[in-house]
Amino acid sequence: MLRQDINELLTRTGPGTPMGELFRQYWMPACLAEELPEDGAPPIRLKLLSERLVAFRDSYGRYGLIDEFCAHRGASMWFGRNEEGGLRCPYHGWKYDTTGQCIEVPSEADNSSFAENVRLTSYPLVKIGDVLWTYMGDPAKQPPLPEFEFALTPAEHHYTSKRWQQSNWLQAFEGGIDSSHVTFLHSGGLKSDPLFKGAKGNQYNLNDKKPFFEVADSDGGLFVGARRNAEEGSYYWRITPWVMPSFTMVPPRGDHPIHGHFWIPIDDENCWAYSFDYHPMRPLTEAERQAMIDGHGVHSKNIPGTYRPEANMDNDYLMNREKQRTGEWYSGVEGIAIQDSSLQESMGPIVDRTKERLVPADSGIIKARQKLYRAAVGLRDKGVTPPGVDPAHHHVRSAAVVLPQKEAFLDAARDDVTVRPGMPISSV
Amino acid sequence: MAVETQTLSSCARAATAEEARYRIDRPIAPSRAGRVVALDPGAAEVLRRTAQQEWANARFYICEPAGSGAQDVVLRGIDGGPATLADELASASVVVMVATSDAGADCAYTLGKACWERGIQTAGLVVGDGTQAGTAASAAVAALRPHARVLLPSADEADVVDLLSALRV
Ligand code: FES
Ligand SMILES: [Fe+2]
C-alpha cells in the first residue's frame, strides 16, 4: 500500500504540482511525427500534463507547440488556417508563428506594434526519430536533447506507435516495470506472437513461473532484474531498465527487435502509451514492420484515423471467454498492449493505492515510487535536478542473458545494459 | 453460443471515477506476519530506529552466528529478549533480512535457507552499496541471492520502511 498523500503527489501532473514540475524537467514525446506529415499540415490538438495545446508544422517546416487558445478572445487554434509562416485564427484573423509570437492582427493599423506584445505560451517541438519531443519547463533550464537509442537509429531500423490509455500515467507506467505479470497475463503471446515467439529464452520463462527479483539503482532510475533457472549452474536474467520519469524497456527475445515504452500524462485520468521497436543492427523486415502496424508485439490495433485502440473499455476490450478458457489469451483479451490497458484501466482512473496488498515481488514498483517521490520533493524543496535529465542517463538497453549463478547481474551484465553503438543487443 | 450476461458497455461504466466510490471500504487486515532480521551490528542500528515506528504485526530481531559452526545462528529480539529461530519462523509469512556489511553473510545464508525450506517468502535489503564486487556488502548480497525472492542490493534506510509499509506487516 501507499499513503494517500503520496499517491496524490505521484499521480497529479498539472501545472504547479510537484510531480507536474518533475515531468517538466524532461524532454518527452508530445506526439508522433506522422501526425504532422508535411509542411503546412493541419494543426492537431494535444493535451499534455493537463495543458491544452496545439501542435503545427508551418509552411517552412518549422514545428510549434502553442497554447490552444487564441490570445484575442479564446477561440481554439485547432480551427486555425496553416498559412505562409504561421497559424491564423479563423475568427478575427490573428496570426501566430511557431514560437507563439503573434505576427499579425488585421484590425490594427499596418504600422502598429500591437502584435509584437502578444505572445502565446509555447514549447519547443523537435523531431528525433518518429517522435516530436517537447520540453515544457523553464527555458533557462532546458536540457540537451534526448539520446534514447530507439530514436537515434536509422528510420528503417525503428517503428513507433502510440495509444490512448484511459487511466492515470502511474498505473500504466508501473506495468512497465512489473516483470512478474508477464508469465501470467502475457503467457499466450510467448508462444504465438510473431514478434516474440521462437526465442530460446521463452522456454526459461515458461519453465519457471516464480522468478527471483533484484532491484538495483542506476544513474537515471533503476534496473529491475528477474532471474529464472537456466541450465545447471546458471540463471536466465531479464533486465528491465527504467529511466526517470517514465521510460521503460522490455527485455528482448532472441533476435526479435527490442522494444519499450514511454508513459506520458495527458491529464490526471488519461495518458499516452508510446510503444517503440528497433533493431540496432539491421532494418526491420517487411514482416516485422507489418506485424507492428497490425498491432502485434507491444503495439495496438487502433481505430483507423485515431490513436484509440479498437479494443477499448466501450466494447469490454472484445473479451473472449473461450480463448480465456483455453489459455490462448490468458485473460481473454487479445494482444500484449490491450491485455495491459484493459486491466490498468479497470483499476479506475486513479487507482487507490491505500488498498493494495503488495508482495516482495512488487519491490521494483515500491522502489520506483520512492525514487519518484524523492525526486519530486527534492526538486520542489531544494531545486535538485532529477535523475534522467542528463542525456547520458538515456544510454541504456534491456537485456536477456544467461549468467553464471555466482555473478551479480549488474557486475556481469553492465555492458549488456549499456548502449554500445554498432554492437548487437544481448538477447537469448 | 454463450449467453451474453453483461451489457457491452459494462467496463466503460465500471471503470469511471464515479463508480470507484462504490469500492468496498473495509479495514484491510494485515496479511503477513513479518519478521525483520538484522544480519550485522550496522543493520541492528537501522532496525532499532525502524522498530520505533508503528507496525501491525512486524517483529524485529538480530541474528548472530552461534559460534559453533557457520551453519548455526542465534536470534535475539531487537530489545535483547530471547527468541528461537524455529519458533519465530513457525509463525512467519514473510522474512525481511537487512545487511549493511559482509559480517552477516553466514547468517544470511542460514536464515535464507531455513525460510526457503519452510516456504516462507523472503526479501533481502543491503543498506549501503552491494551492487559491485568488492564493495562493502558484496558477500552479503551473494549470500542472500540464492534464497531471497527479492533482493535490493543498494538500499537505504528509507527502503526498509517503505518495503515494510508496502507489505502491510
Ligand atoms: S493478481 Fe495482481 S492485480 Fe490481481
Ligand atoms: Fe504487460
**Which tens digits make up the pLDDT trace of B126-141?**
998 666 666 667 788 8
Through-space distance between the first and last CA atoms of chain A, rounded to whole angstroms: 35
Q: Which three cell numbers stand for residue A304?
A: 483507423
B29 touches chain A (CB under 8 A): no
Which of chain A's residues have a Cβ under 8 Å away from the Cβ of B123? Answer: 360, 363
Nearest CA in chain B to A348: B15
Cβ atoms A241, A397 nearer than 8 A: yes
Q: Is the pLDDT of residue B1 over 50?
A: no
Q: Which three cell numbers stand for residue A257?
A: 527487435
**Top mean-pLDDT range of A153-162, B64-73, B136-145:** A153-162
Cβ atoms A215, A221 nearer than 8 A: no
B97 touches chain A (CB under 8 A): no
Residue A272 CB partners (closer than 8 Å, separation 6+): A29, A162, A163, A164, A165, A262, A263, A264, A266, A307
Tell me which ligand sits closest to the C-alpha of residue A177.
Answer: 2
Alpha-carbon radius of gyration of chain A: 22
Average pLDDT over residues A340-350: 97
B154 touches chain A (CB under 8 A): yes
Residue A316 is nearest to which of B11, B123, B159, comparing CB atoms? B11
CB contact under 8 A, A213 and B142: no
CB contact under 8 A, A359 and B121: yes
CA angle in degrees (0–180, nearest 5) for B61-B67-B70: 85
What are φ and ψ of residue A416, in 5° steps? -65, -30
Q: Within 10 Å of residue A218's Cβ, how many Cβ atoms?
A: 21
Closest by Cα among A380, A383, A409, A379 to A218: A409
CB contact under 8 A, B150 and A214: yes
Burial B64-74 (b: 16+ CB within 10 A, else e): bbeeeeeeebb
Residue B3: per-residue pLDDT: 46
Q: How confident is the model at residue B68 (pLDDT cuts 50, 70, 90)?
A: low
Q: Are strands B34-38 and B94-99 parallel, antiparallel or unpaired?
A: parallel
Residue A214 is nearest to which of B133, B153, B165, comparing CB atoms? B153
Residue A394 CB partners (closer than 8 Å, separation 6+): A146, A147, A148, A149, A220, A243, A247, A388
DSSP A47-61: EETTEEEEEEE-TTS
CB contact under 8 A, B145 and A408: yes
Helix A336-346 crosses helix A169-176 at what angle (to 10 degrees)? 140
DSSP letter (8 states) at residue A229: E
Through-space distance between the first and last CA atoms of chain B, rounded to whole angstroms: 47
For residue range A13-64, list pLDDT tens digits in order: 999 999 999 999 999 999 999 999 999 999 999 999 999 999 999 999 999 9
Q: Is the pLDDT of residue B153 over 70?
A: yes
Residue A358 is nearest to which of B141, B145, B166, comparing CB atoms? B166
CA dihedral over A79, A82, A83, A85, signed as positive or negative: positive
What are φ and ψ of residue B117, in 5° steps? -65, -30
Residue B72: per-residue pLDDT: 78
DSSP letter (8 states) at residue A396: B
Sheet holding A86-88, edge to edge: A81-83, A86-88, A95-96, A102-104
Using a 10 angstrom Cβ sphere, with 0-12 exposed, 13-18 middle and 19 or more buried, the burial of residue A116 is exposed
Q: Is the pLDDT of residue B30 over 80?
A: no
For residue range A111-147, list pLDDT tens digits in order: 899 999 999 999 999 999 999 999 999 999 999 999 9
Q: Within 10 Å of residue A86's Cβ, how many Cβ atoms?
A: 24
- Using a pLDDT cut of 70, give the percent of chain A over it: 100
Integer CA distances (angstroms), B101 to A16, A109, A232, B59, in order: 42, 77, 29, 22
A208 touches chain B (CB under 8 A): no
CA pair distance A114, A226, nearest whole angstrom: 61
Per-window interface: B 128-147 vs A, CB < 8 A? 131-133, 138, 141-142, 145-146
B30-166 in CATH: which number? 3.40.50.1440
Cβ atoms B94, B119 nearer than 8 A: no
Residue B71: per-residue pLDDT: 66
Residue A160 CB partners (closer than 8 Å, separation 6+): A32, A129, A130, A131, A150, A151, A274, A275, A276, A277
What are φ and ψ of residue A185, in 5° steps? -55, -45
Cβ atoms A104, A116 nearer than 8 A: no
For residue range A208-266, list pLDDT tens digits in order: 888 999 999 999 999 999 999 999 899 999 999 999 999 999 999 999 999 999 999 99
What are φ and ψ of residue A282, in 5° steps? -155, 160
B91 touches chain A (CB under 8 A): no
Residue A2: per-residue pLDDT: 92
B1 touches chain A (CB under 8 A): no
- By three-state DSSP, how is residue B34 classified? strand
- By three-state DSSP, how is residue A227 classified? strand
Residues paired with residue A82 on neighbouring β-strands, in sequence order: A87
DSSP B115-135: HHHHT-EEEEEEES--SSTTS
CA pair distance A366, B166, nearest whole angstrom: 7
Residue B15 is nearest to which of A217, A348, A362, comparing CB atoms? A348
Query: From the CA of B12, how many Å to the nearest CA of chain A?
Result: 5
Q: Of A292-296, A306-310, B142-146, which range is least confident? A: B142-146
Q: Which three cell numbers stand for residue A327?
A: 489459455
Residue A298: per-residue pLDDT: 96
Which of chain A's residues have a Cβ under 8 Å away from the Cβ of B165? Answer: 1, 3
CB contact under 8 A, B150 and A215: yes
Q: Is the pLDDT of residue A164 over 50?
A: yes
Average pLDDT, chain B: 86
Q: Which amino acid is at A306?
A: T
Q: Is the pLDDT of residue A71 over 50?
A: yes
Which of chain A's residues have a Cβ under 8 Å away from the Cβ of B167? Answer: 358-360
**A411, containing H or E segment:** helix A409-413
